[in-house]
Structure 1
Amino acid sequence: MNLSIDALQALTETLSIEWFQKPFAHKAVYNSRLQTTGGRYMLSDHSIQVNPMVEDLYGREELIGVLKHELCHYHLHIEGRGYKHGDHDFKDLLLKTDSPRYCKPLKSRETSSRKIRIYTCTNCGLQYERKRRVDTKRFRCGKCHGKLKEIQ
């Protein structure tokens, strides 16, 4: 079960003081529109947005890890230091605060919503697997230039 907005804000403020010895003076909110990332730090308003699926799938510890990661971005940006993933300051602060570099995957790659389409050449029998639909009137076999036919 996800924390309330007030509890998420309080947790973020507590983590900021505990791990960074600095206050978090902005908003921490859930954003259910995030699909593949655990959270994000917004440069424009200094807020932290968290994907509610993180806690649902992996529990409170992973949520704390995501918050600590985003707090690294936050504090470095506020201080005018390197806050991007590739910056040396960011990598150092991740190590000092025991924050994860990446979030655990939120969407499985195996459970792709696209079905695999199989096309075969009517001339040489070569098979093609594609996620996207192929216009069989326009495209031909790459080996013998025969016509393609969808078999599945």
Structure 2
Amino acid sequence: MTEQELQILVEKISDESFGKPFCHQATFNPRLRSTGGRYLLSTHNIEINRKYLEQLGENELIGIIKHELCHYHLHLERKGYQHKDADFKALLKKVNAPRFCSQLPNKQVKRSPKKLLIYQCSNCKQTYTRKRSINTSRYVCGKCRGKLVKAREVTLN
């Protein structure tokens, strides 16, 4: 689908589902990663993630367009256009638009292995368990103000 075809589709959905014209620009944005689309408040344009069309098909794309058009029309009418607003939720239901888009099937979440860092006070032997490393030259023991030393690192499965 080209950007011109996307523009025509958005205008058609706006007329059919909302009964109002879409007078701004709809484009594909290759930088979108975790969302199907977004409505830009400053320009009133709509950006769509092409991966949703390629991986989930045209029905998912139409749902994303309807969702973004809800933001668009409500914002222009000076009504509640945010996800939390009652006007937005009501319009979503009226035009049968999804509140959230589906997750992409081949999206791989990069997760590092879980680890715990164990720090120990060199004076009183008090231990501190942390998920993130700390600067031992900056922080001291909360019990006796002694110097902290990294004792060990534990990897969890």
TM-score by length of 1: 0.76
Structure 2 gap segments, 5+ residues each: none
Report the Cα offset of residue 91 of structure 1: 0.9
Answering whether residue 75 of structure 2 is matched by residue 73 of structure 1, we say no
1:22 and 2:24 aligned? no
1:55–1:62: 8 Å Cα contact kept in structure 2? yes
**Matching residue of 1:53:** 51
The 1:68–1:148 alpha-carbon spacing in structure 2 relative to 1, beyond 3 Å, is: same
Q: Which runs of 5+ in 1 are unaligned?
A: none
Distance 1:120 1:57, change over 3 A: farther
Aligned to 1:4: 2
Cα distance in 2 between the residues matched to 1:78 and 1:9: 19
* Greater C-alpha Rg: 2
Root-mean-square deviation (Å): 3.0
- State the Cα distance separating 1:47 from its structure 2 match: 0.6
Is this contact kept in 2: 1:13–1:23, CA < 8 A?
yes
CA deviations 1:77-111 (Å, max 9, x no partner) are 22222222222211111000000111223596842
Kindly tell me: are residues 148 and 78 of structure 1, through their superposed partners in 2, closer, same or farther at Cα, counting changes over 3 Å? same
Q: CA deviation at 1:55?
A: 1.9
Identical columns (%):
42
Shift of 1:150: 5.3
Secondary structure of the structure 2 residue equivalent to 1:119: strand
Change (3 A) 1:118 1:81: closer
Amino acid paired to 1:61 = N
Quick one: structure 1 residues 45 and 17, their matched pair in 2 at CA, closer, same or farther if it must change by over 3 Å? same
Supply the AA of the counterpart residue of 1:81.
K
